[in-house]
Amino acid sequence: MPEHTPATQPRSLSGMQPTSDSLHLGNYIGALINWVELQERTDAFYFVADLHAQTVPTDPEVIRRRTRITAAQFIAGGVDPERSAVFCQSHVREHTEVAWILSCQTAFGEMNRMTQFKDKTAKGQNANVGLFYYPILMASDILLYRPEYVPVGDDQRQHLEITRDLATRFNTRFGETFVVPEPYILKESARIMDLQEPAQKMSGSTSSDKGLLLLSDEPSRLAKKLRSAVTDTDAEIRFDPEAKPGVSNLLTIHSALSRRPVDELVAEYAGRGYGDLKKDVAEVVVAAVEPFQVRMAELMDDPAELDRILATGAERATEVASQTRNAVYDAVGVLPPAGGF
Ligand code: TRP
């Protein structure tokens, strides 16, 4: 058993929406690797944001399947459920309970300024109230656990800022209830770009199939996509994301997975061709993805065991979340039922 000392360790928390049947390499390198690293030195809470996924109309069976897949991917990617609490957002009812209280302390105009709602609806997503309320649910997700670290990508920066604002305001109105979380924006170097359009981020929703390395892709398919990755015509391997986005992206992928500094790789490839680099990147990608796929298959073969893991995770999460919910209800004057909540 790994040591589990919640009382003395800082907490970390993050979530991912179950919006695809497979993570891509950008999610893995940009997020999951950091989660795995954080679980070594923090008491970590990692959840599937299944309620956030309800903001996009999706077939119920598809959401259910993707919820299990997403949880399994955390584990296959190295999150250890003995060490970290792995759970579904919907299994810990405090998330919605505290979100409601927070929403009653949030000005309409404040939510109206959130850029993600505007961006998503401008791109044609239907403007349901849930999508508008999304940042408040996310603030609740975070504040319930009083985490020191909330590892998120740059696109979530504004959501963390509003979380800080809501926490600070609540504390001012009702007394110290929440810990104001520090943003922990993941490093720029972890940004993985589309293989075909290396000026764009690799994205499950906007990248073409050839631009995207899925963790569920067959190894031969991964190698093929890497072979046809867009580079440039000057045939020099160096790291320069502005002038040479394709080659720099390959170096970033290699470095993240082989855990070797980019400078060292650049020195090693001096005088060699792009073909060599692509072949080696394919090797390190396949070496990372193969064990992931084996573990994924085991987890998906035994959904009952996966559901038990999620139940244990939800229990651990509830222990922490219920204390915060009680403090919040008490602060605003919710009358507890006889015997407590
Ligand atoms: N909104 C996040 C995303 O789409 C997912 C998320 C929901 C989250 N709640 C969270 C991330 C709390 C960190 C903390 O990526």
**Cα of 50 from ligand 1 centre, angstroms:** 10
Token pair listed for 280 = 């080696």
Q: For residues 185 and 33, is the Cβ–Cβ distance under 8 A? A: no
Nearest Cα residue to atom 11 of ligand 1: 15
Question: What per-residue confidence (pLDDT) applies to 3?
Answer: 47
Residue nearest to atom 2 of ligand 1 (CA): 16
Nearest protein Cα to ligand 1, atom 9: 138
Q: Residue 259 contacts by C-beta under 8 Å, 6 or more apart in sequence?
A: none
Q: Smallest Cα–Cα separation from 305: which of 50, 85, 68?
A: 68
In this structure, the chain runs to a length of 341
Out of 159, 182, 203, mutate this one to test ligand 1's pocket (max ligand atoms within 8 Å of CB): namely: 159
Q: What is the pLDDT of residue 188?
A: 52
Q: What is the pLDDT of residues 31-57, one digit of tens each?
A: 899 999 999 999 999 999 999 999 999
What integer pLDDT is reported at residue 205 of this predicted model?
87
Residue 121 confidence (pLDDT)? 87
Pocket around ligand 1: residues whose beta carbon is below 6 Å from it?
13-17, 49, 52, 138, 141-142, 150, 152, 156
Which atom of ligand 1 is nearest to 134's Cα? Answer: 1
Rounded Cα–Cα distance for residues 104 and 174 (Å): 13
Ranges of the chain with pLDDT below 70:
1-7, 185-190
Q: By alpha-carbon position, which residue is closest to atom 13 of ligand 1?
A: 14
Q: Which atom of ligand 1 is nearest to the CA of 141?
A: 12
- φ, ψ of residue 340 to 5 degrees: the values are 90, 170
Q: What pLDDT sits at residue 185?
A: 65
Please give the single-letter amino acid code of residue 201.
Answer: K
Which amino acid is present at 125?
Q
Q: Please state whether 340 falls in left (phi above 0), alpha (psi between -120 and 50) or beta.
A: left
pTM greater than the 0.75 cutoff: yes
CA gap 55, 126 in Å, rounded: 9
pLDDT at 190: 65
Segment 305-323, tens digit of pLDDT: 999 999 999 999 999 999 9
